[in-house]
Structure 1
Amino acid sequence: MDSLFLERMLLLLNQGNFTTTYKYALLLALIDVNIEGAGQGGPVTSVTTRQLAERVIVLYWPHTRPYARRRARLRRVASASGRALTPALTLRRAGQGQRLSEAGWALLQSSTVRDKKRRQAEIVTLIAKTRAALHKRDASADRRPHLAQRADPRRYERLVRDVEWVLAEKPIPRLQIIGSSHDPFLYRLDWTIEQSKGRLIEPGLPKLTEGALRAGTLSNTLQLMPGVHERLVSLAAVLRPLIHRHWSDMVARLNSLPERRLEEFLFGASRESLAPVREPLWRLQGGRCFYCGGRVSLAQAEVDHVLPWSRFAEDGLENLVVADASCNSHKSDLLPGREAILPWLSRPAAALAAIAEATGWPLARDRVRSTCAVVYRQLSPGVPVWRGGGVVGRLTEDEQRGVLGALGAKGGGA
């Protein structure tokens, strides 16, 4: 583990100068893009602002839903804290107010004050407006980004471009500023912005403009510093929950809410959101728990992430199985051993593709498998893995080679 790199990351998280939650989304997006790239071959040396925008949209999408369904519930929380909560983002279209739901509140993700009013983070507002417009046309189209993209490609493309510009203008050039110092230990840019009036962050570089970025006369590429790709991939399982906690803490402070319940809302995998694939997977598995093979009723079946959601945030269909409550609880956030990995990799590809087509759920077969290969290649023999039931064992070198061989990957050991 690179202690200097980790120390700089901790310093960035604790002392970076930000008034929104953008830095957390940007860091998670960088991790995700690097993990995905690692499974496609050689090391990632650069990422684009568009790649980051697409991933940031996925991260913020569930945050635009109402935090509570009843005003009274939040009023009690607000009353206890002595502070008022901001009501749900009201979207104006043709003079009519549109809420994202019949009752609820949007969580502030910015400390910016304008005209004596607290302002929502711009990216959250952009996504909320897109979701509201899609929901008006089709109640199911706004549930997930891939459904929105399929329902209205042109509107979704505008959203990506708008989010890309916000990232380029705000968090990307500012992320590596600690105090008044600029420490580019993650990436370098071919352009800069003003840190303060008349003072550029990196003198000598051209100043960013929206027109130049959109026209391509300024590069949209972030050049990763040497070793950053390897460190982000190897430290992902440590950094992700840490970033989640910092993000949740900031939103909790902005909205006067309890941190633990808020973190589950922001980053927990909602069983309701996985409902469309639960029955098809249950039928594919013959009404049995994927892990233990025991019978489980549809009502009791739970959708589980083979690669734990809390560590890898991957809900492509390839990463989902149906399990009973006991196995799901025992496995929790543990990585599975070969007892589960090898049968998982042997599932019928055509049947999964048919489910993906029928439900509109992304299959993500290549991405999930490449992520799995990256994960198991980085593991050190001896790390805990789940064996089934309440049994936790240790990863062996032979087991690691077997898993990587089944994935068509090479190498092993951290």
Structure 2
Amino acid sequence: MTSLTIIPQKAQRASYLTGQRVAKSKKSHTIWEELMLPAVVEMCEVMIGKEAASQLKSVSLSTDTVRSRIEDMSCDIKSQLVARLQTCHFSIHLNESTYLSNSAQLIELVRYPWNGHIFEDFFFCKKVTVRATDEEIFNILDTFMRETKMKWENCVAVCTDGAAVMTGRKSGVVARIKALNPQIIATHCLLHRQALASKDMAPDLHSVLSTVVFVVNYVKSRLLQSRLFAQLCNKMCAGHDTLLFHSKVRWLSRGKVLQRVFELRTELCEFLKDAKPTTVALLSEPDWIAQLSYLAEVFNILNELNLSTQGGYASILEVSDEIKVFREKTEIWRMREYPELVATTMKILLPFPTTYLCEASFSALTTMKTKFRARMHVENDPRVCLLSIPPRIEKLCTERQANISH
């Protein structure tokens, strides 16, 4: 009787651990039952024996079980996080994005001090059911705060990407939050601010960028053009055989696009000499080439700055120092003095400097929720996958009775 009890208890704990691994891998809930469990049983039969393999079959890992285990762990992690936030100051980080099936999702991350350290954790992901207005987004936030019995007074800062719905002076989400807590600090993602500042360039340099975009689009707009250009580059022993697309959304692409065009300018002149003689004349002009080289160098330096400010656990002071040093080196922008944010050091360190973590969370969500998993719960899997707080599996096992598999 003892062995019959021990096996299901171990099997239940194993199912929780497996569910946690499935969530962290961002894979479909069916992968374990359809692929991994049969493979593990076969390996166990070969390496250990059939008796040990039969015990593995007692682990319940159906799709519904995996979903249930992930839901249990998500609730447990959420309760731990809320308990922490109810007793300390914190800052929040908001971003709204539309992805699969034109579904708008609101992601919130939170930064808070705990046991002498600062933690950054996924807070929630909620579907925006109607319109992504400032009122709708604020209501989602406020409802969640009230349901979890958290206080806006403990929120010291909110970071957004600078969209009008977030930062509107009279009725934006930040304005509505400040109406509840006027002491909150509102920060605009420093990466977005730097990207906006870099758009302001001299007309001649802007003309060079426009010409580069035109050339890239002309070559890559048709598959035949791209193949012919690649063949020409190979014949001329060029270092690359393709151009890179420029995207205004992904501003890191500009430096790479300009650098690639500069490196392949000779091949481009040869490829375009019959179809675009005017453009070839520009590509051969020394002054134009010098401006192209200058732009490529500047944007590559900006890329290095952007990459150095990305990642987790960066404080607003560190990112500000990175940008300040860059401005002193390049002497492009004037130095600006920033007012003192708050009196205490902790409240200075809590605000999010960039929206990098929200973008990373959306990337993880896009990986999880594909067109084949359209019904996936958008909050439980990301919470188990992204949070630094581990689920209390032993506690969950004792709360849920272990049922013997038949």
TM-score (norm 1): 0.19
Rg larger for: 2
Structure having greater relative contact order (Cα 8 Å, sep ≥ 6): 2
TM-score (norm 2): 0.19
